[in-house]
Structure 1
Amino acid sequence: MTNKTPKDKPAVQGDTVTPTKPATGKKVATIGLMAFVVMNITTIVSLRGLPAMAEYGLTSIFYYVFAALVFLVPVALVAAELASAYPQQGGVFRWVGEAFGPRWGFAAIYYQWQAIVIYFPTVLVFAAAALAYIWWPQSFDQALAENKVYTIVVLLVVYWAVTFISFRGIGASSRLSFFGGMFGTIIPGAVLILLAIVYVATGNPVQLDMQTSFLPDFSHLKNTVLAASVFLFFAGMEMQAVHVKELKNPSQDYPLSVLISTIAVVALFIAGTLAVGTVVKTADISLNVSMI
């Protein structure tokens, strides 16, 4: 007969015997609160939409506030509540699966993945065009930004680089999201707003049409369509909930991160749009290659 040490004995709970798991020295990756806030912000915010909204002047503020109140805030509140209810396994699959079964949960997460697959390349096309304008002279920059081969190469290289980094695990993926979000969206957005302030403070003319009404005229169909499209600007607050179990304190950190992210998203969209409209004339805005 062989003797078992206490640590080798299974745990007995009533009539059920549950084997104890061996302790491992592997460290569980966790995501900090601010890192998760940045991940939420960059899931929603894209600076490529600012020039399009800048054409509407002060009316753009109404669109942002309206979409935030009737779409972004409710989605954020629901996501925070569900993430608090299921802190160990969150995300759209878990939430939909609990209500309608695993098949519908899979369908929901599949449709969400499809949306990302379609959305991500459009963002990279904008990034490739913006990257082209760091060179000199401007004629070369414009030609490079409009070159389809250059755009496809940048798109594929970045897409597959991000994919391979994600294979390294949640730690590498969260670091990429944090630094990519900070240096790719938040800091450039802050610099854009700061430069607009400097532009006005140094006495330059404001290009923004200050005579436009705050309330849009919904008798025109194009204004109604724009209102609907702004809702898409705020889509995605629930996507990062799949990482809720990687948070140090899911029940508290997730709702707090959603609150901070919501405020930051609305502020960045409004301030960034007004900054573009203040400096750049409407006639000089190209929606294909950003601002020229």
Structure 2
Amino acid sequence: MNSPSTKKLGVLGLSIISVNTILGLKNIPYAATVGPSAILFWVIAALLYFIPLSLIIAELATSYPEQGGVSAWVNRAFGQRASFLSSWFYWVANFTYYPSLLLGITVNISYAINQPMIIENTWLRTIIALTIFWIVTLLTLRGTKMSEKLAAIGTPIGLVVPVILIFGFGAYSIFSGNPSATEFTAKTITPNSLSLDTIMFLSTLMFAFAGMEMLGTIAGDVKNPQKTFPKAIGITSAIIAVVYILGTIAFQFVVNIKPDQTATALYLFADKATADFHLPFQLSQVLGICFVISIVGALSFLILNPSVMFYESGKNVLPKMLTKTNKANMPSNLILWQSAGVSVILLFSGFIPTISSALNMLTFMATLAFFIPYVYLILAYIKLRRTDKTTIRPFKIKSIIMANVVAGAALFSVIGTIALTLIPAPHTTISEYAPLVVGPILFAGLGLWFYQLGTKETRTQLKKAS
């Protein structure tokens, strides 16, 4: 979509965008709810999912650095229909993911301005979330350079500062002799049983690592992608893994979090640190400001990515109205339709009583829809590795046996996550469970219908032309 003159992202820019897009500090308190065994779960999630998928994406992105990412790779392996459906699911998954992200922003804002009562005001937080979302959406329509600028601001302030504060106060608590809020022993770190709840918890942590595939959609905007991608992925992987694992340890040492406190857990940590160390300022307010900047910085790229992918796979299928681009070569109508759908779901989420319940339901729905395109992605990698012998692969898993092992581990973790998400948790009501099953089926049917309509129109035009 973009001209060669826009290829300006180097290793630093790509690393900044990817870290700010993937790393979510809100995942640390969620992991803390399971206790010290979360440390082992983080390691398992990284080994089974994050590292294998990162290696696969690094090889695909450097071998086929065309704009479109997953949709382009799936199209090369399985054709237009599979590419369209994978991109379709990726596009609609954000209809539930963005609302969860936006509700998180309202929590951050409420603490940033020292007005935590906003969290309890359902419609006020909805209006705030919608306003921020549409402002960032309109800025995103100006192109990838705007996304890079927002990420460049968001990462240093919104991620580096909170990480230093969390690690700093956690480490100070550990080495100053303060008692730990959590018991760290070999027994507590090792899971006592592999129950359904603990396995589902592992699948949720895998979702915390999701997002690396987004880098493929901006390959056309990257300088020398064959060298830049492997370096950026290596830097990103190391930073995210270290922050998640060490952050969880520091967090659990200071405060003990219950499952129904996930929405405000980071601020409970901050309030405890403020009291323990007699700080002359409210740490929760500082973190709130940082998190708002971070999420707004990441949001632009998150809005842009799925629409670019869907545009690349559907530009010959979708109606012309939807594939219209603006002066910045952005698929403006797809972005606006996506934003309209997100707005509707965000409004419906206002009827859910508590913000933690809303966040949990939206996250589960997004997890299921997001992981379906990963199945296409991994299968495309397996096929292209076996059938495409001519393409030069600047970065690749050298042994075909090891490539199959890596792909098998990624496929196992992704399919397992999808299956586990569909298993109802104890005490789940029909109204809570129905969207998880009905949603994907409905979206799959809509995707197939759109594809049939688009290809029928194309076939009709070809017949008339002949």
Shorter-normalised TM range: 0.7 to 0.9
Match of 1:262 among 237, 261, 271: 237
Higher helix share: 2
1:166 matched to 2:140: yes
Residue by residue over 1:146-190, the C-alpha shift from the partner in whole angstroms, topping out at 9 and shown as x without a partner, is 211231122112211211111111111111123223322343223
Bigger RCO of structures 1 and 2 (CA < 8 A, at least 6 apart): 1
Letter in 2 for 1:215: T
Cα pair distance change 1:203/1:131, threshold 3 Å: farther
Matched position secondary structure for 2:153:
helix
Asked whether the equivalents of residues 33 and 258 of structure 2 are also in contact (C-alpha less than 8 Å), the reply is: no
Residue by residue over 1:108-130, the C-alpha shift from the partner in whole angstroms, topping out at 9 and shown as x without a partner, is 12211222332122122122112
Cα pair distance change 1:126/1:270, threshold 3 Å: same
1:120 matched to 2:98: yes
Matched position secondary structure for 1:288:
coil
Partner of 1:78: 56
Match of 2:10 among 32, 43, 55: 32
- The number of aligned residues is 264
Asked whether the equivalents of residues 83 and 244 of structure 1 are also in contact (C-alpha less than 8 Å), the reply is: yes
1:43 matched to 2:21: yes
1:157 matched to 2:131: yes
Report how far residue 90 of structure 1 moved.
4.8
Query: Distance between the aligned counterparts of 1:131 and 1:202, measured in 2?
Result: 32
Partner of 2:122: 148
Percent identity over paired residues: 27
Residue by residue over 1:243-280, the C-alpha shift from the partner in whole angstroms, topping out at 9 and shown as x without a partner, is 11211110010111111111111111112212221111
Asked whether the equivalents of residues 146 and 289 of structure 1 are also in contact (C-alpha less than 8 Å), the reply is: no
Report how far residue 237 of structure 1 moved.
0.8
Query: Distance between the aligned counterparts of 1:27 and 1:100, measured in 2?
Result: 31
Asked whether the equivalents of residues 97 and 105 of structure 1 are also in contact (C-alpha less than 8 Å), the reply is: yes
Residue by residue over 1:49-83, the C-alpha shift from the partner in whole angstroms, topping out at 9 and shown as x without a partner, is 21121133321111111011110111101100001
1:250 matched to 2:213: no
Query: Distance between the aligned counterparts of 1:231 and 1:28, measured in 2?
Result: 33
> Which segments of structure 1 move beyond 4 Å, counting only runs of 4 or more?
none
Match of 2:37 among 56, 59, 69: 59
In structure 1, the gaps of 5 or more residues are 1-23
Query: Distance between the aligned counterparts of 1:240 and 1:191, measured in 2?
Result: 28
Query: Distance between the aligned counterparts of 2:213 and 2:234, measured in 1?
Result: 13
Asked whether the equivalents of residues 31 and 248 of structure 1 are also in contact (C-alpha less than 8 Å), the reply is: yes
Match of 1:192 among 166, 175, 183: 166
Query: Distance between the aligned counterparts of 1:221 and 1:247, measured in 2?
Result: 42
Letter in 1 for 2:91: W
Asked whether the equivalents of residues 166 and 173 of structure 1 are also in contact (C-alpha less than 8 Å), the reply is: yes
Query: Distance between the aligned counterparts of 2:176 and 2:112, measured in 1?
Result: 24
Letter in 2 for 1:227: L
Query: Distance between the aligned counterparts of 1:189 and 1:251, measured in 2?
Result: 31
Report how far residue 283 of structure 1 moved.
5.2
Report how far residue 29 of structure 1 moved.
4.5
Partner of 2:209: 234
Asked whether the equivalents of residues 90 and 243 of structure 1 are also in contact (C-alpha less than 8 Å), the reply is: yes
Partner of 1:278: 253
Letter in 1 for 2:49: F
Letter in 2 for 1:82: L
TM-score between both structures, scaled by the size of structure 1: 0.83
Report how far residue 27 of structure 1 moved.
4.4
Letter in 2 for 1:278: F
Letter in 1 for 2:235: I
Query: Distance between the aligned counterparts of 1:184 and 1:161, measured in 2?
Result: 19
Query: Distance between the aligned counterparts of 1:199 and 1:213, measured in 2?
Result: 20
Letter in 1 for 2:230: P
Of the two, which has the highest radius of gyration? 1
Query: Distance between the aligned counterparts of 2:173 and 2:120, measured in 1?
Result: 29
In structure 2, the gaps of 5 or more residues are 269-466
1:218 matched to 2:182: no
Cα pair distance change 1:271/1:154, threshold 3 Å: farther
Moved more, 70-79 or 174-183: 174-183
Letter in 2 for 1:275: A
Query: Distance between the aligned counterparts of 1:190 and 1:60, measured in 2?
Result: 21
Partner of 1:204: 178
Asked whether the equivalents of residues 83 and 90 of structure 1 are also in contact (C-alpha less than 8 Å), the reply is: no
Match of 1:101 among 52, 76, 79: 79
Cα pair distance change 1:135/1:204, threshold 3 Å: farther
Asked whether the equivalents of residues 37 and 190 of structure 2 are also in contact (C-alpha less than 8 Å), the reply is: yes
Provide the alpha-carbon RMSD of the alignment: 2.2
Letter in 2 for 1:237: M
Residue by residue over 1:222-256, the C-alpha shift from the partner in whole angstroms, topping out at 9 and shown as x without a partner, is 21221222111111111121111211110010111
Query: Distance between the aligned counterparts of 2:259 and 2:65, measured in 1?
Result: 48
